[in-house]
Structure 1
Amino acid sequence: MTRHEVEARRGAAPERAKLPRWLGSGVVTGAADDDPSAIGTYASAGARYGLGALWIAPVLLPMMYVVMYVSAKLGRVYGKGLFAAMLDRFPRGVVYPMAVLAFVGNVIEAAANLGGVGAAVNLLLPLPGWLIVVAVAVAVTGLQVLGSYMLLRRIFRWLTLALFAYVGAAIMAKPDIVEVLRGTFVPTVRLDAGFVAMLVACIGTSLSAYVYTWQSNQEVEERIARGDSQPWRHRDASAASVALVRRDVIAGVAFSNIVLYFIIMSTGATLHASGQHDIDSAAQAARALEPIAGEGARWLFALGVIGVGFLAVPVMTTGAAYDLVQVLRKPGSLHDAPRQAPLFYATILVVTVVAVALNLLGFNPMRALVWSGIVQGFSVPPLLFLIMVMTGDKRMMGERANGWLTRTLGWTTTAVTGIATVVLVVLWASGRG
C-alpha cells in the first residue's frame, strides 16, 4: 500500500476539526506569496512612498485572485499540475522554456528566502548566519522527505498565522487614520522611474510564477488526499467542488492582500515618516522599526519573516521538483514515499543544497532577487496566457471552462503583467530601474 493510500484511508476529518475552516490550501499559497523576499519589497514600498502606497494592495487584489483561481481550477478539474497539463495541450518547445524559467526562479527564491530567514533569526538570536541557514534547510527538508502530506499540510496552515504579526506591527506604528484612508482610496501615482520600478516589483512579487505551479499541484494533492489516487482519470469536477475552490482562493487572496497592506502601513507610518526611505530587506525593516515603534514591533516583524520563511522555502523547493518531474513525465507527489518518486525527492534535496550553498558562498539575497524578478517577469505573462487558454478550453475543462468574469479578469491581468514586464526591461536596460 502506498503512502497516499494509507493517508486517504485515515481521512482528513480529524484535521478539519482542529484547524480553522478558512485555513485551506489557498491560504497556504497566499501566505507563501508573502514570503521574506516579498515582505522586503512591500516594506521598501512603504518606507520609500509612505502611506500613499497603500492603494497598491486593493488594485492588486483582483489580479491575485484570478491568477490563483485559474491555477487552482486547472488542478482541481483537469487533475494534473501545471506543466503536466501544459504538455497535454502545447508542444514541448513551448512548455520547456517556461519550465526552465519557473525552475530557475524557484531556486533563486529558495536561496533568497533561506537568507531572509537567517537574517531575521539573527536579529533575535546571536547565532552565526551560516548555522541558521543550514539548520532551517535541514529542518524543512526533513519534513518534506520524512513527513506525510497530511503533516506538511497541517504545519503549513499553522505557519500562515505568523503573518498576523504584521497587523500587530502596523497597529503599534500608530498610523494617522485620515492618511491611511486617503492612501487606500486615492491613488497617488508618480511618473518617475523609481516609482514605476517599485510598482512593477510589487506586481511581479504578488503574481510570481511559483504561485501558479504550487496552487495547481496542491489541488491535485488535495484530490489524492480525499482518496482519488488517479485524479487525471476523473476530470469533470462538480460545480460544488469548483465553488469550494473559489471560496478557498478568495480566503487565500484576501489573507495575502491584507498582509501586504499592513506591511506597507507599518513601514509607511514609521520609517517613511522618520525619513528612512531606503530599505533593502525584511530584516533591515525589522531592525529599523525598533527605535521608532519599539522592540515589540521589531520582534513581530522578524517573527513574521521567520514563520513565513519556514513555509516559503519548502514551497519553492517542492515547486521546483513538481516542475522537473512533470516535464519529464516522472512520478512526483508529496503523498509518495521517496522510493516511489526518487527523482521528485532528489530534486528537493538538490535544490535545497544549492540554495544553502549560494548563501554560504556569499550569496546576496536582494541582488539575486533582482535577477529572480527579471526571470519571473519574463515567465509570468506567457504562463498566464497559456493557463487562460487551457482553462478556457472545453476539451480540457468541460463545463468548468472559464466564464465571462474570469475571462475578463484573466486576460486583463495578462495584458497588465505583459506591460509591466516591458516597463521593467526598459527601466533595467536604461539603468533607471
Structure 2
Amino acid sequence: MLPKPTDSQSPGTPQKKPNRLQRIWQNLGPGLITGASDDDPSGIATYSQAGTAFGLATLWTALITFPLMAAMQEMCARIGLVTAQGLAGTLRKHYPRWVLYGLLLLTGPAIVLNIGADLESMGAVAHLLLPQVPTFAFSVFFTGLILGAVIVYPYQRVAAILKWLCATLLLYLVVPFLVRQDWLNVLRQTFIPQFQFTKAFASILVAILGTTISPYLFFWQTDMEAEAMQQNSVVNGHGKRVMVNKRLLESMRYDVNVGMFCSNLIMFFIILTTGVVLYASGVRRIDTVEQAAQALKPLAGEFAYWLFAGGVIGTGLLAIPVLAGSLSYAVAQTFGWRGGFDRKFHQAPAFYLTITVSLVVGLLLDLLGISPIQALLYTAILYGLTAPIMVALILHLANNKAIMGKFTNGRLSNSLGGITLVLMSAAAILLLYFQVTS
C-alpha cells in the first residue's frame, strides 16, 4: 500500500508498536482516496438531484454499484501492482497507440470539465458561507491552494493530506440523524428496488452509474498502486522491485473494498438526506450543490446547512487533485514524459504543467459562460462514451497472462466485470438516446 515515511529515530531508540486503529489506518491508501474522491461536488450534485426528484426511490442503487466499483478498481489496482506501471503506460506498451490517443481525447476534456464544475461549485458554496467574497474569488483561491499543495509537497505528504481529507465525507453521515424519519421505510426502499418507467428516472439511473464508475478513477487507482510499489521498492529494498504476494494482494483488496464501501455509503446518505428533507418538503428540483445547501437550511436547520456546505468544500479539495493527477499521469505516460508526485517540479515539468493547465482551464470555464450543469452534462456524455471501452480494455488486461502472469482475473472478477460492461454499455446507449430525443 502507501509507503510509510522513513523513521527519523536513531537505531537504538525503541519503536512504539502501532495500535489496532493505527494499523487499520496505515493499511488504507489508494483505494480509500479513490473511493472518497468519487464523491466530489459533481457527484454530490447528482445524488442530490436523485434524492430531490425521486425521494428514496434510488437508495437501492448503492447496493448495486458497490460490488461493480470494487471489482473494477481491484482489477486496476492489481494491474498497477503487477506491472508497476500506470494504466496509460500499460496500454501504451501493449496496445496500438490510436487506442490510447482516442481514450485521452475523450477522457481529457471530460476531466477538465469535471474540474471546472467542482471548482465553481466549491466557490459557490463558500460564497454562501461568506457572502462578502465573490464566488470566482473563492474558486481562484481553491485553485491556488490545490496547485500549491501538489507542487510543493512530496508524494507521501500529498497522499497523507488526501487520506485525511477523506474524513470530511463523514459530515454527510450526520445530517439524516438531525431530522425525524421512518427508518423502516428507509430499509424497505434500500432492499426492495423500485423502477419508474419514465425518461427522467432512467436518466438519473444513468447519471448515478456514470458518476460512480468514472474512467478517471481507473487511471488514478492504477497509477497510485504503481507509484506506491515504486516507493516501497526504494524504501524497503534499496531500489529492488517489491514482489507481489498474497499478503500484498489481500491488503490491496481490503483497501479497495473499504474505499468503495465508503464511496457508496456517502452516496447513500446524500440521497437519503435530500430525499427525507427536500423531497418530503415538496422540493422537486435542484440543479447545483449550493441550491441543495440553501434548501436544507430552513428545513433541517443551520447545523445541517453548515455540514452539507463544509462537506462540498472538503470533497472538492480531495477530488480535484485526483482528477488533475489522473489526467497528468495519463498524458505523461502516453507521450513518454517523466511524471509522478514522487518527483519535484524541475524533475517532471511537463507532468506538473499538465496539472496546472487542467486546473486553470477548468477555472476559466466559468468566464466562458459554461455553467456547472452544462459542464456536468458534457462530462457525463464523454465519460459515458469512454467507460464501456475502458472497462473492456481493463478486463482484457486483467486476463492477459503475458502481462499479469499468475495474477489474472478469477471467475468472480470476470463475472462482475462483465456485468459492469453490459450496464455501462446500456447506459451509454441510453445517454445518447436521451440527448437525441430531448
> Which TM-score bucket, shorter chain as reference?
over 0.9
Question: What amino acid is the match of 2:152?
Answer: L
Question: What amino acid is the match of 2:259?
Answer: G
Aligned to 2:278, the other structure's residue is in SS state helix
Measured after TM superposition, the shift of residue 213 of structure 1 is 0.5
Whether the aligned pair in 1 keeps the contact of 2:297 and 2:305 (CA below 8 Å) is yes
Rounded to whole Å, the distance in 2 between the matches of 1:402 and 1:410 is 10
Question: What amino acid is the match of 1:258?
Answer: L
Match of 2:411 in 1: 404
**2:403 matched to 1:368?**
no
Rounded to whole Å, the distance in 1 between the matches of 2:238 and 2:315 is 30
Aligned to 1:363, the other structure's residue is in SS state coil
Rounded to whole Å, the distance in 2 between the matches of 1:288 and 1:22 is 39
Deviates more, 1:353-362 or 1:230-239: 230-239
Q: 2:140 aligns with which of 134, 139, 142?
A: 134
Measured after TM superposition, the shift of residue 56 of structure 1 is 1.1
Question: What amino acid is the match of 2:289?
Answer: A
1:68-111 Cα deviation digits (max 9, x unpaired): 11111111111111110011111111121012212111111111
Question: What amino acid is the match of 1:385?
Answer: A
Match of 1:312 in 2: 319
Question: What amino acid is the match of 1:358?
Answer: L
Match of 2:89 in 1: 84
1:351-381 Cα deviation digits (max 9, x unpaired): 1111111123433011111000000000001
Match of 1:274 in 2: 281
Measured after TM superposition, the shift of residue 125 of structure 1 is 1.2
Rounded to whole Å, the distance in 1 between the matches of 2:7 and 2:184 is 52
Deviates more, 1:202-211 or 1:53-62: 53-62
User: For residues 49 and 233 of structure 1, do their structure 2 counterparts lie closer, same or farther at Cα, with a shift above 3 Å needed?
Assistant: farther
Rounded to whole Å, the distance in 1 between the matches of 2:395 and 2:196 is 32
**2:435 matched to 1:428?**
yes
The normalised TM-score by structure 2 is 0.93
Rounded to whole Å, the distance in 2 between the matches of 1:22 and 1:105 is 31
**2:227 matched to 1:221?**
yes
Whether the aligned pair in 2 keeps the contact of 1:236 and 1:398 (CA below 8 Å) is no
* Uncovered stretches (5+) of structure 1, i.e. residues with no partner: none
Whether the aligned pair in 1 keeps the contact of 2:103 and 2:386 (CA below 8 Å) is yes
Measured after TM superposition, the shift of residue 52 of structure 1 is 2.0
**2:104 matched to 1:95?**
no
Match of 1:197 in 2: 203
Measured after TM superposition, the shift of residue 330 of structure 1 is 1.1
**2:124 matched to 1:119?**
yes
Aligned to 2:346, the other structure's residue is in SS state coil
Deviates more, 1:263-272 or 1:92-101: 92-101
Measured after TM superposition, the shift of residue 62 of structure 1 is 1.0
Whether the aligned pair in 2 keeps the contact of 1:80 and 1:232 (CA below 8 Å) is no
Aligned to 1:144, the other structure's residue is in SS state helix
Any residues of structure 2 matched to 1:27-106 within 5 Å, and which? 27-106=32-111
Whether the aligned pair in 1 keeps the contact of 2:233 and 2:241 (CA below 8 Å) is no
Rounded to whole Å, the distance in 2 between the matches of 1:341 and 1:188 is 50
The normalised TM-score by structure 1 is 0.94
Question: What amino acid is the match of 1:154?
Answer: A
Question: What amino acid is the match of 1:88?
Answer: K
Match of 2:181 in 1: 175
Rounded to whole Å, the distance in 2 between the matches of 1:105 and 1:254 is 25
Whether the aligned pair in 1 keeps the contact of 2:29 and 2:159 (CA below 8 Å) is no
Whether the aligned pair in 2 keeps the contact of 1:50 and 1:267 (CA below 8 Å) is yes
User: For residues 233 and 405 of structure 1, do their structure 2 counterparts lie closer, same or farther at Cα, with a shift above 3 Å needed?
Assistant: farther
Whether the aligned pair in 2 keeps the contact of 1:22 and 1:251 (CA below 8 Å) is no
Any residues of structure 2 matched to 1:240-319 within 5 Å, and which? 240-319=247-326
Question: What amino acid is the match of 2:412?
Answer: L
User: For residues 196 and 233 of structure 1, do their structure 2 counterparts lie closer, same or farther at Cα, with a shift above 3 Å needed?
Assistant: farther
How many residue pairs match? The answer is 426
Among all aligned residue pairs of Structure 1 and Structure 2, give the percentage whose two residues are the same amino acid.
34
Rounded to whole Å, the distance in 1 between the matches of 2:174 and 2:335 is 45
Whether the aligned pair in 2 keeps the contact of 1:114 and 1:355 (CA below 8 Å) is yes
Question: What amino acid is the match of 2:389?
Answer: P
**2:216 matched to 1:210?**
yes
Match of 2:387 in 1: 380
Measured after TM superposition, the shift of residue 418 of structure 1 is 0.5
Match of 1:394 in 2: 401
Q: 2:337 aligns with which of 330, 333, 354?
A: 330
Aligned to 2:67, the other structure's residue is in SS state helix
Aligned to 2:341, the other structure's residue is in SS state coil
Deviates more, 1:358-367 or 1:315-324: 358-367
Rounded to whole Å, the distance in 2 between the matches of 1:322 and 1:39 is 25
Rounded to whole Å, the distance in 1 between the matches of 2:356 and 2:24 is 29
Measured after TM superposition, the shift of residue 232 of structure 1 is 12
Question: What amino acid is the match of 2:208?
Answer: C
* Uncovered stretches (5+) of structure 2, i.e. residues with no partner: 9-14
User: For residues 133 and 56 of structure 1, do their structure 2 counterparts lie closer, same or farther at Cα, with a shift above 3 Å needed?
Assistant: same
**2:249 matched to 1:237?**
no
Rounded to whole Å, the distance in 1 between the matches of 2:157 and 2:270 is 29
